[in-house]
Amino acid sequence: MLQTTLEPDVIRGLGPLADPYTHSKAVAYFEQVKSSNQGLEFCATALAQDTYQEDHVNFFLWQVLEHQVKYRYSELSDNIKLGVRKSLLAWIQNHNKCGVTEVPVFLRNKASQVFALVFAKEYLAGWTNFIQDVMLATLGENISNNVIPKFGTDVYLRILLAIDSEVVDRNIDHTSEEQAHNQLLKDMMRERCVSEMVNSWYCVLTFQDVSDESISLCLQVVGAYISWIDINLIANDRFMSLILNYLSLQQETRIRESACDCLKEVSIKGMLPPDKLALIETLWGAIETSGILTGLNDDEEIDFVIKLSRLVSSMISTLIFAWNRQLKSPSETNLTKMLFDSIHAKLPTCLLFFEHEDDDVSAQCIDLVKDYIDMLKRIEVLDDNRKELLEKLFYGLVKKLKYDLEYRFDNEGEDEIEFQDFLRNVKVVFDNFAMLCPELVLENVQSVLTNTMLNWQAASFNDVEVAIRLLYMLGESLPSNLSTQFSSDPEKTSPLHNMMTVLASSGVSNHPHSAVRLQFFETVARYDRYFVVAAQMDQDSTVTVTTAQAFLDHRGLLSNEPKVRSRTAYLFSRFVKTVGRQLSPFAEEILSEIERLVVFSPVRSVERALSSDDQLFIFELAGNLIVSSNFPPQKKAALMMSLLRPLVEGFEPMLAKMKSLAAEELNGPDKVNGPQASEIYATALNYAMSYASRTSKAFSNKFTMSQSGCAQVYTDALKVFLLALDTQVHRATLHTGVRQYLHRMVICLEDEVLPFVPVTIRHILSNGEPRSLHDFIPLLNQIVNKFKKVIEPFLSEVFMLVVRAVFDVLARNSDDVTSQSDDDMKTIRRTYFQFLFALVSNGVAAVILRQAQQDLEMVLSTLIQGATDGMDVVAQKISFSVLTKLIEAWDVGNSLAAWEFATKSVIPACFMAPLHPEFDLKDAQTVLALNESSYLMKAVFKNQGEQLVEFLRCEYLPSISLPQEIIEEYCQVLRAGDNRVFRSYVKGFFTRAKT
């Protein structure tokens, strides 16, 4: 039986200082009362009679009512619902006798939410006078006597805001049924009570004894409801003069901010273009004459300035929307021109806000500036006045792109993260602006850069940084291809080329601020093509060398700031990849400089300038420097050997040390937090192989490994790296390194790599891990794709090893029913079928067909299984493709076996798969699998001819109960049609069969 009063333990348990026992008791009580009629009546009565004085208890009572109204209201009897209404109104009437502050805001808000929920449930039928009853309870019988209760006014306005949130708020997702219901609520309110509500708002805004908070709330209510009530109820002299008055400097800040928000909602209200223009002109004139547009830099008023910025931007944006709408009515050109002129007359004011020192003020204008740029894209010719405004906008963008002088580059916090987000938005505007008027942007960026670089030593760091960043941003903003911007023909030099000349010769890489130096490096790496062209034009690589030196010394790679060193390693690698040939005379000097940056040691106490990942870029740039140099092959080989020697010579001792540590750890104490010593060594060994792999990225069809004389260097390294395959610890880490290195060698070497393939494959196959197998087979496919028949004898030898390794993995994991395991197994099966496809697609199908009879039958059965597996359409497609290639390659002398396989397996699969319930012919991937099955049938026909037709006509098709006329039709199209015709027929055939 539910108690009619709260036990002391429950009251304490609802409080913030409750112990676990009393809190659990309170939770249990809540569960009891929230789902019973008696609990609802108890809570409603307690609130109506103000039984409890504790705020947390009253909050609990409101929570119970909220839950009951949300989830049980339809179950309640009419008498209980009537009791709830009376209790709600009684609560208001009781508290109207006291001051507002006696009921905390959080309780007033929670009560308002419950009122709104009841409104949504009852207003259409049960409680049609809800608004009038609430107004009577809150504001009194006669609100025109210039006196209204403070508490009642406050709660009345909060209830209206809660109703708006529940019924109108577009930020809340509603079902279609809820949307229809809410629309009915609004329609009924328009008919029954909106006029009375508007009058009540007017009274609140005009009565002298109303609190500032209630005035602010009332303005919020007007702004919320204006979106769906008649605009003329608000956009009239009596109301607008009131709202505009609350913008004045004499008002309390909170009221001014609410007035701003309210006017914004009024200004964006949907209406016809002529009405919109008239409204905005009226509002704009009133705002200008009010004097509020002065004093925008008052820090104490910054929140108001933010809202004022949003208001101004919204007013202009809504005019742009009206202008775009009016363009669709070309007959009314005069109105279009009036809108256009009105927009441009107001934009200078908007730019004042956009250029404001506070980024939150500027952010309110970003959408407007985007809208304005989009608007100008629809105008063919811009007059001089517009161009002058665009130039002001350009310099406004430059100002907002600058970092603050207090920006913490070395310790970015929340403020810096927010600024980066703001910068991204400003950059989007800049990109759009550059596409609108590229000539203006180029001209002004060149002016900013040139003037800044002339005297960068005296300029603030943010002025210098943004000047360089503007040049950098042009690469993403300009519509033309960057490669066309740099030409060795002096008559074709572009502004971008000239700007790079200014930057490269300015000496700004010596700037003391790291942000400037980093932006310099970013920019020269982006426009690295300039240095190649400049060397060709001047027959001098001085500018390239001085830039490379900046990368190498304390300005870049030797900087005392880790962030600079890390980023510079990547950028210098990119730079060298393009200008390596120009740096050829200095290659050995550069290699000597970077040698001290490379540390190959697992010992953590060893000082490192760069992380292991950053060193990957150092090895890559070293490889590019050597390969692109003008040295003879012998010299290149010697330099490459010198580069890789520490990796190769240190590999075997480090591998032995790793094994020794692993053995000690196996017999030692339990593992401590963090990686064990042997794991650190394994990671270092993996990096050693990765470093060597990275150097090989310098080779290409133009500079092959053999032509560069480096083949022996890399094969010698491969011999050493293959030792990692013999270890039984940290195999995943080490095998990854070996596999990646071998992958690079398959690309870069020719036949020299083949002797190393067998041992690698056998070792990796012995691993038996699904992930390892999945990663290994693509490498095997790569080898097949490159060497084809050259490697056929070896493939014949290892083929069944690969197949059995796949089967072993699948068998071991067959009992694991987790979704992750299922996905892994599906991936392994697909990888296996892709391996078979690589064989048959590269002319080595004989590797499969010449296996022992038992093994061949096993492989063929897996293909049939894959072709008929309705749960994996990708595997089906690959399986059908492989079967087609096998049929085409089948040895003529073994035609009987081919025919037997076709009749028992292939032909049934071509029908069973499309007829499977999961085979969805509306799915694109499934249709591709069906196409492959039709190609397979055509391949069997080409191989067996009329024998197939007779088999289909007399045996198979009758066995699946096809009518004779359909059988004849199918055989006729199979015999006479080409692949395209038969493919189309098959799709229709199975579509009809499945309907």
**Of 297, 352, 342, which Cα lies nearest the Cα of 319?**
342
Q: Are 746 and 753 in contact (CB under 8 A)?
A: yes
Alpha-carbon gap, residue 376 to 340, rounded angstroms: 10
Average the pLDDT over each of 165-169, 817-821, 896-900 and give the range with the smallest value.
817-821
Higher pLDDT, 511 or 292: 511
Residue 1: pLDDT above 50? no
Q: Is 70 exceeded by the pLDDT of residue 246?
A: yes
- Side chain identity at residue 868, one-letter code: T
3-state secondary structure of 977: coil
**Higher pLDDT pick, 208 / 37:** 37
Q: pLDDT tens-digit profile of 307-324?
A: 999 999 999 999 999 999
d(CA 352, CA 316): 14
pLDDT band, very low/low/confident/very high, at 108 (cuts 50, 70, 90): very high
- Locus of tokens 């299922």: 822
- Contact assessment for residue 934 and residue 983, using Cβ atoms and an 8 Å cutoff: yes
The mean per-residue pLDDT over the stretch 586-614 comes to 85
What number is the average pLDDT over the span 96-105? Answer: 76
**Residue 457 identity:** Q
Average pLDDT of the segment spanning 394-401: 96
Q: Which residue has the higher pLDDT, 101 or 241?
A: 241
Q: Stretch 408-420: mean pLDDT, rounded?
A: 91
Give the closest residue to 764 by CA, choosing from 807, 719, 814, 802. Answer: 802
The rounded distance, in Å, linking the Cα atoms of 516 and 503 is 12
Q: 7-11, 379-383, 394-398, 814-818 — which is least confidently predicted?
A: 814-818
In tens, the pLDDT along 776-832 reads 888 888 888 988 888 888 888 888 888 888 888 777 766 555 555 677 788 888 889
d(CA 385, CA 398): 20
pLDDT value at position 696?
A: 95
Using pLDDT thresholds of 50, 70 and 90, give the confidence band for residue 670.
low
Rounded Cα distance, 11 and 15, in Å: 7
Q: Residue 267 contacts by C-beta under 8 Å, 6 or more apart in sequence?
A: 279, 280, 283, 311, 314, 315, 318
pLDDT tens figures, 846-891? 898 888 888 888 999 999 999 988 788 899 999 999 999 998 888 6
Neighbours of 176 (CB within 10 A): 7
* CA nearest to 356, candidates 394, 395, 400, 401: 400
**What average pLDDT does this structure show over 901-930?**
90
Report the pLDDT averaged over residues 549-557: 95
Q: Which helix (H) or strand (E) holds 193?
A: none
- Contact predicate 438/478, CB 8 Å: yes
Mean pLDDT of 935-950: 90
Place of tokens 């028992």: 904
Average confidence (pLDDT) over 24-52? 84
**Chain mean pLDDT for the chain:** 88
At 566, the amino acid letter reads S
Q: How confident is the model at residue 893 (pLDDT cuts 50, 70, 90)?
A: very low
Do 979 and 934 meet the contact criterion of CB atoms below 8 Å apart? yes
Chain position carrying tokens 């391996």: 835
**pLDDT the model gives residue 463:** 97
Residue 3 has pLDDT above 60, yes or no: no
Under a CB-based contact definition with an 8 Å cutoff, are residues 457 and 507 in contact?
A: no
Question: Which region among 137-151, 222-236, 363-377 has the lowest average model confidence (pLDDT)?
Answer: 137-151
Q: Rounded to whole angstroms, what are the CA distances from 374 to 269, 350, 401?
A: 22, 16, 21
Average pLDDT (741-763) is: 85
pLDDT single digits (tens) 779-790 = 888 888 988 888
Q: What is the DSSP string of 681-693?
A: HHHHHHHHHHHHH
Tokens of 515: 């942000």
Query: Is 84:118 a contact under the CB 8 Å cutoff?
Result: yes
| DSSP state string for 849-881 | HTS-HHHHHHHHHHHHHHHH-TT-HHHHHHHHH
**Residues belonging to the chain:** 995
Q: Quick check: 301 pLDDT over 90?
A: no
- Please name which of 153, 168, 171, 60 lies closest in space to residue 114, comparing C-alpha atoms: 60
Amino acid of residue 14: L
The rounded distance, in Å, linking the Cα atoms of 355 and 393 is 9
User: Does residue 591 have a pLDDT over 80?
Assistant: yes
Band (pLDDT 50/70/90 cuts) for residue 770 is low
The whole-number pLDDT of residue 697 equals: 94
Q: Which is higher by pLDDT, 29 or 668? A: 29
Residue 430 phi/psi, 5-degree rounding, is -60, -45
pLDDT at 895 (0 to 100): 47
Reported as type and span, the H/E element at residue 257 is helix 253-267
Give the closest residue to 427 by CA, choosing from 483, 472, 386, 461.
472
What amino acid is encoded at 283 in this protein?
A: L
Angle between helices 633-667 and 711-721 (to 10 degrees): 10
Q: What is the mean pLDDT of residues 510-519?
A: 96
Strand stretches in 914-980, DSSP E: none
- Per the model's pLDDT, the better-predicted residue between 721 and 976 turns out to be 721
Longest dimension (CA), the chain: 111
Average pLDDT over residues 191-196: 93
Which of 89-103, 160-174, 565-579, 600-614 is the most confident on average? 565-579
- Using the predicted structure, report yes or no on whether residue 6 has a pLDDT greater than 80: no
CB 501 within 8 A of CB 534: yes
Q: Percent of the chain, pLDDT > 70?
A: 93
The mean per-residue pLDDT over the stretch 741-746 comes to 92
Distance (Å, whole) CA 216 – CA 970: 79
Poorest-pLDDT segment among 407-416, 704-713, 813-822: 813-822
3-state secondary structure 718-776: HHHHHHHHHCCCCHHHHHHHHHHHHHHHHHHCCHHHHHHHHHHHHHHHCCCCHHHHHHH
Element (H, E) at 903: none
Tokens standing for residue 99: 């001051």
The DSSP line for 80-94 is HHHHHHHHHHHHHHH
> Among 39-43, 121-125, 144-148, which is the least confidently predicted range?
144-148
Look at the alpha carbons of 710, 713, 716, 720 in this order and tell me if their dihedral is positive or negative: negative
Nearest partner of 619 among 704, 560, 697, judged by Cα:
697
Between 768 and 89, residue with greater pLDDT:
89
pLDDT band at 961 (very low <50, low <70, confident <90, very high): confident
User: What is the pLDDT, as a whole number, of residue 13?
Assistant: 66
Give per-residue pLDDT as tens, 444-462.
Answer: 999 999 999 999 999 999 9
Rounded-to-integer distance, Cα 184 and Cα 519, Å:
58
- Rounded CA gap, 392 and 397, in Å? 9
Mean of pLDDT values over 259-265: 94
Q: Are 67 and 61 in contact (CB under 8 A)?
A: no
What the block records as the tokens of 450 is: 């040139």
Q: What is the pLDDT of residue 828?
A: 85
d(CA 3, CA 29) in angstroms, rounded, equals: 10
Supply 855's token pair. Answer: 């093994």
Distances (CA, A) of 888 to 428, 462, 589: 56, 69, 59
Alpha helices in 193-252 (DSSP H): 194-206, 212-225, 237-245
Closest CA to 902 of 918, 911, 893: 911
H or E segment to which residue 159 belongs: helix 150-167
Cα–Cα distance, 222 to 229 (Å, whole number): 10
φ and ψ of 197, to 5 deg: -65, -45
Question: Highest mean pLDDT range out of 641-650, 771-780, 953-962?
Answer: 641-650
* Token couple for 38: 């008696």
Cβ-contact 319, 343 below 8 angstroms: yes
